[in-house]
Structure 1
Amino acid sequence: MDTPAPSAALPARVRLATDPMGIWGSFRTARKNLLGLIPEIATRQPIVSGRTGKRWHMVMDPEANRHILKDALDDYPKSDVTKLILAPAIGQSLFIAEGQHWRWQRRAAAPAFSVRNVQALAPVMSAAAERAAERIASAAGRAADLYQEMVTATFEVISDVTFSGAEGFDRAAVHRAIDAYIAQTAKISLLDILGAPMWVPRPGRVISGPAMREMKHIADLAIDNRRQAGRRAVPDLLDLLLEGEDPETGRRMDTAEVRDNLLTFIVAGHETTALTLAWALYLCAFDPTVQDRARVEAREALGDRAATASDLPALPYIRRIVDEALRLYPPAAFLSRTARKADCLCGREVRPGDTVMLPIYALHRNHLLWKNPDRFDPDRFSDAGSIDRFAYLPFGAGPRICIGASFALQEAVIILATLLARFRFERVPGREPDPVLILTLRPQGGVWLRVEPA
């Protein structure tokens, strides 16, 4: 087993549980930070089990992950809690649909995220990177919240590639609705901890109803307008989804299905990439040596222009920084499934109805799988093929791997390279970000960095 590095040399991390919490303690902890439910021992074991209202298992073993996410996929559907939290916003879209309803949607949507189509959307990302650089330049010589800057940049990208040029599409209203939804709806309820049935109302999720209805109404209008106007000369994601067809059944998505999937991509697409970029910038400020090396690579490839898709092969180190940021701070840091059948994971009995959790945060920091797992070291990805596919799950794995993974990685490298080529980022004393998981792993308090011209 490796010897932990001194805490002073480690970037921000979550304080994991060291003592049993009980139902009330678990509820209070989950309301503050869902990751606080993870026992510290989970970073040194393949599986941890217990009972808090109902039986649960936390799995940190690659082979067990392969079984859950790939080999026995239908035996481990998304948990009831996951569906309760997400369904009000995204309906039965790709992210939470199960069985054949998921399969036909996946087949219909897959062409929209082909390599060719993702690369064709890169100019939108380059333009957003340029605008972000212009905004950040105005903060030169002082501290700025780079998390909010990245949220702005990635929301520009996702709204441009979903509803490009949509007249009457109120982007600000959609953004407000997403923020209200996450703030009011995504926190765990005591009823969730107790394992109460799905039909028992969770008050916080009722409150968020008006924001959700507004967001869906705006999206429906934009979709109907596009159906009438027809395909744009340069198709965006909305065009591609409207044209998408399940090759096995010929089925196409109706307006509600297109809307729910578009809102999935908007909610997930901008939030997760913004977080990846914010954490990557924080990590670069944490280790100036890494930042300097990345800047040299970016400037050699880009000079003073924004990065493009064609630059990606010349930016391998910056890609490794993105990969390492996703390891240390995975946006989807906690996955939850419900066992449908009796099973055995890591020698542990699993009964039907048990909650099976994949705490990605603990998996990515497990001492059995990673050397000095709490340290920031992009070079651990210099030989990505040596890393077990099911030990590193920022986008999930198996048939339900995130359909937008290549889109998110392309966007993150383009924006990060553009910024590192032009600016130097430094930590602000007393303003360390606090990793807190509500729906995604956010830096509570923001990512405040001092900005200087490179």
Structure 2
Amino acid sequence: MICPRACQPLYQRHANERPLMTSADIPVRVPLVTQPMGIWASLQAARHNVLSIIPDIATKQPMVSGRTGKRWHMVMDPDAIRHILLENLDDYPKSLVTKNLLRPAIGESLFIAEGAHWRWQRRVAAPVFSHRNVMNLAPIMTAAAERSCERIAAAGPRAVDMAADMVRTTFDVIADVTFSGDGMFDSDAVHRGIDAYIAEAGRISLFDIMGFPDWVPRPGRILAGGAVKEMKRVADEAVEARRNRGHAGVPDLLDLLLEGEDPETKRRMNTAELRDNLLTFIVAGHETTALTLAWSLYLCAFDQEVQGRAHAEAQTVLQGRAATGADVAKLPFIRMIADEALRLYPPAGMISRTAMANDTLCGREIRKGDTVIVPIYALHRNVQLWDDPDAFRPDRFADRKAVPRYAYLPFGDGPRICIGASFALQEAVIILATLFSRFRFTPVQGRDPDPVMIITLRPQGGVWLEAEPLGGP
């Protein structure tokens, strides 16, 4: 069923501007659905790749509706999305599916909480990610970029799975900025817990599709329960140790959260609240940035002209050294590459809300209890919003003010916009610039990544690239 109101194109296409593209000009993409699916087919598809249940028509229309066990609506209209995420936020809380998937691992943290409980946590955490604090943590990002370069160089002429290396690089960063390499924090145990939970519990179950309550057991989450308990135990011990012993040096995220208080109520986070939010920052802070980096490297290997421009910018600014926080503002094209990678492969490729009241979107009735989905992957590739949306063109972001705000949502938007967005972008630019200043990346034939979303949009099969060391500027 197609929304009766059509959006006006925000990026007009002109036939004489560019030649028609062929499949060879297009980076890998998710095949979207062209025929309706029932509950069982939807479940099977979603367990392999959540994005594969998006109808292809969602890239051509502002709104698509249907029923799979319950009524749902996919919304790609920027004005309607603004209504959901900003103007009528309280009537569109995160869906039960989202909460059921993540609550066992990260509790009622910022990502899950709603209403007053979310607001006070946000007030406590917001100063942690101030520009000053993020800049103070930049040397940790620079050091991690240097270590990544050393690993790539040591691999010699062999291909490297850059997706795996970026996960290692960003986890090193988040472990250091969270706990400052504190000996009480077993980062390997936390990493194992995260991986086990995503692998076993992240797959959508039929119970989630049907909206069953939390107390109905999910087999996958039971299997991952031991790793999650161990992850929480390790984090609790680290929080208590820091509370009792303190920490010298540049304040890390744990220090800042321990010192933080709600400016309105003076409330501070207890150990469980600190732990759940720290685990949220660890999961979100390394996984999503690693994906941005991996997809950026894949895209630049795919388009050598773009990579050449990135190389020239990085070598001009860095002159052979690793990038720092102060360099980020001088590297606009590399930032544009990261922005375009986030458009084509948004880590959170779909967000889901539950309507808590009757409403109207795009002239269509929304009933209380309906699932309202913003399929960010389809939004970012909607032909009514983007010119040649499947193409890799970083120059789309040369003027960010020209990009309609609610047509581009890699970090969400409204009051619940990702609190660590500036941290993630600074980290991405530092690491990408350092890599592009020292290596030329080329793809390995026949090993293209497969974009698959379970909880995040990962390059299944890895991003296998050959890295040729480069000379000085």
The TM-score range, normalised by the shorter chain, is over 0.9
Structure 2 counterparts to residues 37-436 of structure 1, below 5 A: 37-436=53-452
- Cross-structure match for 1:449: 465
CA distance in 2 between counterparts of 1:198 and 1:6 reads: 47
Q: What is the root-mean-square deviation of aligned Cα atoms in Å?
A: 0.9
Query: What is the deviation of 1:140?
Result: 3.3
Q: Assess if the C-alpha contact under 8 Å between 2:97 and 2:209 holds in 1.
A: no
Equivalent AA in structure 2 for residue 54 of structure 1: K
CA distance in 2 between counterparts of 1:411 and 1:312 reads: 9
CA distance in 2 between counterparts of 1:285 and 1:169 reads: 37
Equivalent AA in structure 1 for residue 67 of structure 2: R
Question: Moved runs in structure 1, 4+ residues, more than 6 A?
Answer: none
CA distance in 2 between counterparts of 1:124 and 1:210 reads: 31
- Cross-structure match for 1:13: 29
TM-score by length of 1: 0.99
CA distance in 2 between counterparts of 1:189 and 1:102 reads: 27
Q: Assess if the C-alpha contact under 8 Å between 2:100 and 2:208 holds in 1.
A: no
- Cross-structure match for 1:33: 49
Indicate the percent of aligned positions where both proteins have the same amino acid: 68
CA distance in 2 between counterparts of 1:382 and 1:97 reads: 36
TM-score by length of 2: 0.95
CA distance in 2 between counterparts of 1:252 and 1:16 reads: 46
Query: What is the deviation of 1:397?
Result: 0.2
| Deviation larger for 2-11 or 101-110 | 2-11
Query: What is the deviation of 1:200?
Result: 1.9
Summarize deviations over 1:252-310 as a string: whole Å, max 9, x none: 00000000000000011100000000000000000000000100000000021110011
Query: What is the deviation of 1:171?
Result: 1.1
CA distance in 2 between counterparts of 1:16 and 1:178 reads: 29
Summarize deviations over 1:217-265 as a string: whole Å, max 9, x none: 0000000000011243211000000011000000000000000000000
CA distance in 1 between counterparts of 2:174 and 2:61 reads: 38
CA distance in 2 between counterparts of 1:109 and 1:232 reads: 21
Q: Assess if the C-alpha contact under 8 Å between 1:324 and 1:381 holds in 2.
A: yes
- Cross-structure match for 2:3: none
Equivalent AA in structure 1 for residue 92 of structure 2: Y
Tell me, what secondary structure is at the counterpart of 1:272? helix
Q: Which runs of 5+ in 2 are unaligned?
A: 1-11
Q: Which runs of 5+ in 1 are unaligned?
A: none
Q: Assess if the C-alpha contact under 8 Å between 2:355 and 2:366 holds in 1.
A: yes
CA distance in 1 between counterparts of 2:444 and 2:249 reads: 46
Summarize deviations over 1:370-410 as a string: whole Å, max 9, x none: 00000000000001101111110000000000000000000
Query: What is the deviation of 1:193?
Result: 1.8
CA distance in 2 between counterparts of 1:233 and 1:297 reads: 33
CA distance in 2 between counterparts of 1:303 and 1:426 reads: 23
